[in-house]
A and B are shown apart, each in its own frame.
Chain A
Amino acid sequence: MDLERVQNLTDVSEMQKALEKLNAEEIDVDCELNTLLETQASLEDKMITLHRTLPNLQMLHTDSKQLSSMVSFTSTLAENVSSKVRQLDLAKNRVTSCIQRVEDILDLKYCTDGVQQALQNEDYEKAAGHVHRFRSLDENVLRMSEIASEGSSLDTSFRLLHESEDKLRVIVNTKFDASVHSRDVASIERFFKIFPMLGLYEEGLTKFGKYLAAKLSEDADRNLKLALHGIDPEDGRSSVIFADTITKLFEDIAKIVEIHQPLVETYYGAGRLVILVKILQKECDRQTRKLVEEFRNKRDFDLRVQQVQQSLMFHKQPAIEKPDSKDLDVLLSEIVLLNTRTELYLRFLKRRITGDFELAYQDEEKRNEKSSEVDKFIQSCDTSRLMQELIGNYIMMEEYFMREMVLKAVAMDSLDTGSPTSSMVDDSFYIVKKCVRRAMSSSSVDGVCAMLNHACTILEQDFREVLYTRVRAGFPSGFDLTQAYNMVIQQGKSSDTEKAKAQFISTLNNAEVSCDYCKQLKTNLEDEVSKLYTQCSDQSNAKLESCLSDIGACATRFKDVVEFGFSQMTQSVIKPRIKPQIDIFLSTSHNISEDDYTNFEANDPWVQNFIVSLDNMLGSFKDSLTNNNYEMFVSLVTAEITTQLEKSVQKSAFNRLGGLQFDKELRVLVGYLTSVTTWTIRDKFARLTQMATILNLEKVDELLDYWGPNSGPLTWRLTPSEVRQILGLRIDFRTEEIKRLKL
């Protein structure tokens, strides 16, 4: 508050306000002053202590100065010492490399003498050893260290060594070729080991590889000739003779790799096995091509492929000559065997080359690069390509085979006594499983996935379509199923309606078990995949998993058929059978006297007959339906009864005894239905039971004993207005009373 404003105040009340404010401020200032004065004593104490420590601080100051000068002195000293040590180190290194060089020069002289001596003695290993040592020396550096002028002793040594090296190369090459020519295995291996000492890695491995490949080719030619000669239909293996022969080829190559890998790694170092393998693979490709060609010839492969293609394209024309299913079956089994052997072999090669690279390269990136090179090499070799073509044709023929066989199973469908399903379900699923499993044994992930897809198509489309069409034909009404069923089975002759009924029921069953079969098929195949395809990539596993889950999902498509079939049955069987019985209920009075009530005890007016007729109907279906379908049937019958009965109750009039009578009837009915099914019935009758409770009351307000807070475990399925409506059915209850109820 500033003074000027106070002076200018004219209004008394304002002055007073200002005064009050100033007083308050004064009190505040006093308080603050007091606190400050209080602290004065302690501040003075602190000052005294500080004064006392002052001399100490001065001492500390001088001490630190001294220390600092000492440290800097020591540091200079250390610097001096260390630079001397560094100089010493340098000198020592120079001495070492000097000694090294002197040793090298001595070695060089020793090599020069040695190599000539060794060459003279035909001790090529020793000569190569000298050359190898010489090759490890740095010629340029050595030449610098001497007055390496023309004609100096060092220069002569170098010249001599170079000459010897050249000579040795020529010798090793010729000797190797000669040994191959004379089939002198020991010498071949001897010279094979010398190549790398002369730095001739590629050359040595190529020569050796060609030698091995030539041997391989001879053996393979002989084996193939033997196989072609020996196709003897009596022999159990004759149907897979080509698979057996290709297996021999692969085994031979694997053996060669197995034996020579240690040799290559020891003498040529890690990372070079691939050179040898590539040469062997070239021969393998050549042999595989020959073998596959013979296979196509001898097995009429191309003809069969063509036949299948034509039947697929013009399947409506009967004139087309179809391939024989049995022959096809045998052929398909051999193809998958050919492929699985190839996969096994190629996996072996990959493992070996990758293992060798892993020894050679520590760097992760380099390894990955090499590994993808290996993948590329293996995927694009002719052997792979040939198999890809075979598998392509195989899938087409396997699909054709599967469809033909399923269609045959459908065409030859028959119903056996004691079986709720007809033969086409078991037969069709058996075929589908067989075909997919055969595809699995090919080790081709894409092949398996394709067959799984085709299996889905056949089940979901072709096979389901048959069931669906039969169900859509509907269940003929006016029935006596037991008779129809027996006649079809026993005499094979019966009226068309009876046949139609039996077929409808068996189709319903077929569809129902098909749901389960789909799930089973999925589980079985899944198990098998997890056993057979253990070393797949994540990508392959994801593919398999997705295609397998589609097979499982086929189940829902069959469930649709079952549901559709039951909706047909509800219309043509259940509704017409329940209706007349419920009508009897409607026409039976529930407004009854004491005498009536007692009389009913002995001579039941409705429910007993109803149960007998229900039992008849259910009984006639029980044996012909599968368990699940029977339960479903009972459940639908129950649903129909409850809806119709509810409606009828709402159209009837009751007195107390009538209500009691209805309650009794309901209990008997629920008891019966519960006894014929394992599914719960009581829940379906909840609303009716509650209606019975209401119709059974002594007085209107008694309802409140069951309502609201008093309902206890009971959950009302009736709305308040429905409750009032039911109460209204009691002729002895007064409308005003019902209206007055607080619900």
Chain B
Amino acid sequence: MEDYKYLFKIVLIGEAGVGKTCLVRRFTQGLFPPGQAATIGVDFMIKTVEIEGDKVKLQIWDTAGQEKFRSITQSYYRAAHGLILVYDVCSQRTFDALPQWLTDIDSFANEKVLSYLVGNKIDRGDAREIPTHVGEQFAERYEMKYIETSAKEADNVDKLFLDIASRLTEDARERNRLIPGEDSMNISSNTKSISSCSRCFKF
């Protein structure tokens, strides 16, 4: 048995070049990779963090933004506990693409998924095209959490992942309290809710 209490799958999505890979590498390896190449298919990294005394293992799936990989990357949505939708605050185009990404989330992800909207590259101050409040409003409208980051300057990157980890942990603890004993014979008649919770736990 591995040494962790909870395991969560976190999937990063968003247009090509918005900085998904850089965010993940900043968080998992503590560096900003120079000349990061476009992701092919899906990359996979693991990091274990501690949330209020419990070891929490994060499985991070970094997907490619290029259109041709869509059918591959979409297959990861359903099992995700956390989804991070990233855009580039210096690129209106990546912001305008968000509705399409939300449609995809709606069609493929679990309805209880925890989703974050992330505006990245805030270090490029002058080049910014999307003001913070616009991103915030958008996130609010679609009931997502909002955070702005810079993978380059390590701004808010740890906060982003740790926030997700603690929210997911909190939810899992809550559910554990409601349904103690895994092999209880009473199954709620709502299938969707079972499918969304029993996958979260791995002891």
- A interface, CB within 8 angstroms of B: 376, 379, 388-389, 391-393, 395-396, 399, 445-447, 449-451, 453-454, 456-457, 460-461, 465, 468, 472, 539, 542-543, 546, 550, 553, 556-557, 560, 563-564, 566-567
Contact = CB atoms under 8 A, between A and B. Distances in A.
Contacts of A543: 42, 44
B183 A450 contact: no
A172 B195 CA distance: 73
A564 B187 contact: yes
A574 B76 CA distance: 42
A450 B187 contact: no
Interface stretch (B64-72, B89-97, B139-147): B64-72
B41 interface: yes
B68 A388 contact: yes
Given A453-B75, A472-B189, A566-B185, A546 B44 contact: yes
A567 B186 contact: yes
Nearest first, the 10 closest Cβ-Cβ pairs linking A and B are A446-B41, A453-B75, A396-B71, A450-B75, A395-B71, A450-B72, A564-B187, A392-B68, A543-B44, A567-B185
B187 A453 contact: no
B106 interface: no
- In this complex, which of B44, B75, B185 has the most chain A Cβ atoms within 10 angstroms of its Cβ? B75
Given A392-B70, A563-B187, A454 B75 contact: yes
Chain B contact residues: helix, strand, loop or mixed? mixed
- In this complex, which of A393, A453, A556 has the most chain B Cβ atoms within 10 angstroms of its Cβ? A453
Interface string B79-118: 1000000000000000000000000000000000000000
A557 B79 CA distance: 14
A560 B187 contact: yes
B191 A468 contact: yes
A465 B75 contact: no
Interface residues of B, number: 27
A449 B41 CA distance: 10
Given A456-B78, A539-B44, A566-B185, 17 more contacts: A388-B68, A388-B69, A392-B71, A446-B69, A446-B72, A449-B75, A450-B72, A450-B75, A450-B76, A454-B75, A465-B191, A542-B44, A553-B199, A557-B195, A557-B198, A564-B185, A567-B185
Nearest to A566: B185
B127 interface: no
A564 B194 CA distance: 12
B43 interface: yes
A445 B44 CA distance: 12
Given A389-B68, A392-B71, A567-B185, A550 B44 contact: no
B28 interface: no
A457 B68 contact: no
A556 B198 contact: yes
A465 B189 CA distance: 12
Interface in B163-191: 183, 185-187, 189, 191
Contacts of A557: 194-195, 198
Contacts of B195: 460-461, 557
26 contacts: A376-B37, A379-B40, A389-B68, A391-B72, A392-B71, A392-B72, A393-B71, A395-B75, A396-B71, A445-B41, A446-B40, A450-B71, A450-B75, A453-B75, A453-B79, A456-B79, A461-B78, A465-B191, A553-B199, A557-B198, A560-B187, A560-B194, A563-B183, A564-B185, A564-B187, A567-B186
